[in-house]
Structure 1
Amino acid sequence: MAGVAVGAQAQTELHVAAASDLQPVLPTLAAEYEKQTGVKVVPSFGSSAVLAQQITNGAPQDVYLSADTVHPAQLVKAGLALDLQTYARGVLVVWARKDSPAQPVSVNSLTSDKVSKIAVANDAHAPYGVAATSALKALGLYDKVKPKLVVGENIGQTAQFVLTGNAQVGLISLTIASSQAYKSAGSFVPVPRVYGEIKQSGAVVAASKQQAAAKAFLAWLTSDAVQKQLPGFGLDPAK
């Protein structure tokens, strides 16, 4: 039994605070990383702003993966994070269930009289919410659809609103729209790239007791081998 206990203690565990758009992505990459290195990645998901606040309040995380650059840069400036790196670029889509009145889904279906609820992420907390607001304004649709908006605290909750029928259509991340559950339940179209770039960046949490392991994981995420895989998950490579 002693041998088992020592073995369990010997495995490095990295706690990663990750933006909700990575929920369909990170478990697969984490399993690959563990297979390659023996390091177990333990993710927790939330909106980028909420995760940043938790880290500010002392949450025991090793790596922070945001869906923007603003929040990790603020942590770096405050001395709470270091080694800021862009690891991916996000893509915004319009998604609807197969049985939605928004079908055939398009940006124009947002203004349809048949559509009464449109899910978007909170633009105060979630970078995909910022992108959604920006896109709707740039397309001249924001004032028309504002009364229909149903706001999720993060992009994961926003997508759930549409999947469960609590909204008829939603502006969500391509990562979630590309996941098996959403591919089988509905369809999507990309939002025209009129929104600000969703530059997803990460950093090592300064209070982490596993600085070297955290830096190594971030370096692996930005490596060519991983970057080449990102389009398959619904993300554009960092560069």
Structure 2
Amino acid sequence: MKKTNYIIGILFLAVLLSSCGANSQQKTVVYISAASSLKKPVTEWKERFEKTHKDIEIKTNFGASGILINQIKNGAPADLMFSAQSIRRFISDDDKIDIKKEEIIASNELVFVSGMKVDSPVDSIEDIPSTAKLGIGNPDMVPAGYYAKKALQKVNHSKVKIIYSQNAVHLKGLIETGAVEYAIMYRTDALENQRINIIKNIPSNWYPAIQYPLYSITEKKAAKQFMTYVRSKEGQKVLKKYNFRESVNN
């Protein structure tokens, strides 16, 4: 009986020590929602940051900015949000999103592109044949589409068949596969893909300045550390690596 109690005691102590060890190794989780067009820099930031902050885990969620905001409204966890546009367009006073801090971290531009399957691409949007399709993001949810819609108001595009994408990544897929022959997209997305031909820059006075705000939604210390890292020289080098420009306010 004593031997049995001794064994039980040893097992209990082992479980207790194991539990204490597990608790001491628990990581602080930082939840990040980010625009699809920022997937590559945010993913690299996450990898670099976690290497030097072993006690912090970054969990990311990518999508169209408008959709991400709706997810957060409905209770999705988010400590930080990287948007391709001011999120104030998507929220009202009734929404329970408490923005602690807002910083503009980068800017972008629009370009008019064609897919590589187009043999003789036209020089302008007005010249797109009625048999071809133009891809842009859904203006209601995708900031790239919102900017593209503004730009299209400057040209005669009544004959152009427009196809809407779910987000910036989806738009790249449409042009790559030939589902659309032409598109208006972010300069950064076009430059990273050899299957996309940049025809011309869209004049910057045709659409509002494209800025990427970073929002702090909670007061979590680890989230503040990540925010500081993004603004550091190393963090900014990552942005430049993926062809983003510095904020026009910097």
Q: Output the TM-score relative to the length of structure 2.
A: 0.79
The equivalent residue for 2:209 is 197
**2:116 — aligned with what?**
98
Identity among equivalent pairs (%): 22
What does 1:16-95 align with in structure 2 at a 5 Å threshold?
16-38=32-54, 39-71=56-88, 74=91, 78-95=96-113
**Residues 41 and 238 of structure 2 are in contact (CA less than 8 Å); yes or no, is this contact kept in structure 1?**
no
SS at match of 1:25: helix
Contact 2:31 2:79 in 1 (8 A): yes
Conserved 8 A contact 2:86-2:213: yes
Contact 1:64 1:72 in 2 (8 A): no
CA contact (8 A) 1:96 1:102 kept: no
For the Cα contact (< 8 Å) 1:52–1:72, is it kept in 2? no
Residue 164 (1) aligns with residue 181 (2): no
The answer to whether the 8 A contact 1:18-1:66 is kept is: yes
Task: Give structure 1 stretches of 5+ with no counterpart.
Answer: none
Q: CA deviation at 1:110?
A: 5.8
Residue 35 to residue 175, structure 1, CA distance change in 2 (3 Å): farther
Closer/same/farther in 2, CA of residues 10 and 190 from structure 1, 3 Å limit: farther
How far, CA to CA, are the matches of 1:46 and 1:232 in structure 2?
Answer: 21
1:227 partner letter: Q
Following the alignment from structure 1 to structure 2, what is the Cα–Cα distance between the partners of residues 178 and 167? 18
1:129 equivalent among 145, 152, 158 = 145
**1:41-69: CA deviations, max 9, x gaps?**
22111111111111111101221111012
Give the match for residue 119 of structure 1.
135
Cα distance change of structure 1 residues 42 and 79 upon mapping to structure 2, 3 Å threshold:
closer
1:86-134: CA deviations, max 9, x gaps?
111122222322222463x74x156232761111001111111111111
Question: Is the 1:56–1:75 Cα contact (8 Å) retained in structure 2?
Answer: no
Moved more, 217-226 or 124-133: 217-226
Distance in 2, Cα, partners of 1:87 & 1:67: 10
Corresponding position of 1:153: 166
1:52·1:75 contact (CA, 8 Å) conserved in 2? no
In 2, Cα distance between the equivalents of 1:231 and 1:133?
27
Is the contact made by 2:69 and 2:90 (CA closer than 8 Å) also made in structure 1? no
User: For structure 2, which runs of at least 5 residues remain unmatched after alignment?
Assistant: 1-14
Q: Distance in 2 between matches of 1:79 and 1:44?
A: 17
Which amino acid counterpart does residue 203 of structure 2 have in structure 1?
A: P
- Give the number of the structure whose alpha-carbon radius of gyration is greater: 2
Spell out, residue by residue over 1:60-81, the C-alpha distance to the aligned partner (whole angstroms, 9 max, x if none): 1221111012448947985433
Q: Residues of 1 paired with 2:75 and 2:135: CA distance?
A: 32
Return the alpha-carbon distance in structure 2 between the equivalents of residues 153 and 11 of structure 1: 33
Q: Which one is further off, 28-37 or 220-229?
A: 220-229
**How far apart are the structure 2 equivalents of 1:11 and 1:110?**
54
TM-score (ref. length: structure 1) = 0.82
SS at match of 2:147: helix
